[in-house]
């Protein structure tokens, strides 16, 4: 058996032990040396089932599914830095992906997220530098800080679903090959550096629900030729929100609000790029 296979089995055993301890009322982190004490301190309740089942397909594409219908989340750092994995399939049933759960899968080239997914926490999928495509579930509500940061090979359009109401700082920063970004109606706040350095992005579409954009939220849109913002009231922005914006970019805003955009703080510096639609 290959060393990589042995390491995979060892990590699976570790995760199953951790899950069993936590589900039975104990508490344990990621250090093997704490496991024996944690097991000794457990109450005498019946043993809980493992939280998830892990299977492997061709080329180490990992498929993870809930053990049963009571399992809704994947815990903090549960699958962090699985360098052998070349892809991930999350079966339906999961609603929450916790902090750093799949951080650092630097060899993963593909991902399929659970259709049931509601929350992607901080740094959950950060550092997937080889993944080429991403489709966000239609019911997703929150994306945490740095959740999808560092996806430098992501080359598919990013579509933010209308269900999303919370977007974290630097959520998609560094996705330098993304060709287009579309945010559906619903999201109000785009935080600092959320879409920084989308250097290949040619088109951005923002909904009427947007009320503010943080510093460097769209910094580095050097290839963008069309930026659409449908908010009737100019969202608040900072002096750096559009840092390094392509000088030929056309900013399209509602015709009824064109004058307001051209006079608004920090928007006024881009007045010559604006047209009404």
- Convert the pLDDT of each residue in 9-54 to its tens digit: 656 666 665 555 455 444 445 555 555 555 455 444 333 335 566 6
* Range of weakest confidence among 27-31, 82-86, 87-91, 263-267: 27-31
Question: How far is Cα 153 from Cα 176, in angstroms, rounded to an integer?
Answer: 7
Predicted confidence (pLDDT) per residue in 49-82, tens digit: 355 666 655 568 999 999 899 999 999 999 999 9
Predicted confidence (pLDDT) per residue in 142-196, tens digit: 999 999 999 999 999 999 999 999 999 999 999 999 999 999 999 999 999 999 9
E-strand stretches of 80-188: 87-90, 96-97, 110-112, 119-120, 142-143, 158-160, 166-167, 180-183
State residue 44's pLDDT score: 41
Threshold 0.85, pTM exceeds: no
Contacts of 110 (CB under 8 A, 6+ apart): 61, 86, 87, 88, 131, 132, 133
């Amino acid at each position: 058996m290959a060393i990589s296979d042995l390491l995979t089995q060892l990590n699976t055993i570790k995760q199953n032990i951790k899950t069993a301890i936590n589900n039975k009322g104990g508490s344990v982190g990621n250090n093997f040396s704490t496991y024996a004490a944690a097991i000794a301190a457990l109450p005498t309740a019946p043993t809980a089932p493992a939280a998830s089942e892990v299977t492997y397909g061709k080329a180490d594409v990992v498929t993870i599914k809930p053990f049963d219908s009571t399992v809704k989340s994947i815990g903090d750092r549960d699958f962090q830095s699985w360098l052998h994995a070349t892809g991930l399939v999350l079966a339906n049933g999961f609603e929450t992906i916790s902090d750093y759960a799949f951080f650092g899968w630097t060899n993963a080239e593909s991902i399929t997220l659970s259709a049931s997914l509601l929350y992607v926490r901080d740094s959950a999928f950060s550092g997937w530098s080889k993944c080429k495509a991403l489709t966000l579930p239609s019911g997703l509500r929150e994306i945490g800080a740095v959740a999808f940061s560092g996806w430098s090979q992501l080359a598919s359009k990013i579509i933010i679903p209308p269900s999303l109401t919370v977007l974290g700082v630097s959520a998609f920063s560094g996705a330098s090959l993304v060709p287009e970004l579309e945010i559906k109606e619903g999201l109000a706040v785009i935080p600092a550096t959320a879409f920084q350095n989308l250097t290949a992005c040619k088109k951005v579409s923002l909904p009427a629900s947007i009320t503010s954009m943080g510093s460097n939220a769209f910094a580095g849109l050097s290839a963008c030729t069309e930026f659409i913002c449908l908010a009737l009231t100019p969202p608040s922005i900072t002096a750096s929100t559009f840092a390094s914006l392509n000088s030929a970019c056309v900013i399209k805003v509602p015709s009824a609000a064109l004058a307001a955009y051209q006079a608004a703080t920090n928007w006024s510096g881009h007045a010559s790029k604006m047209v009404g639609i």
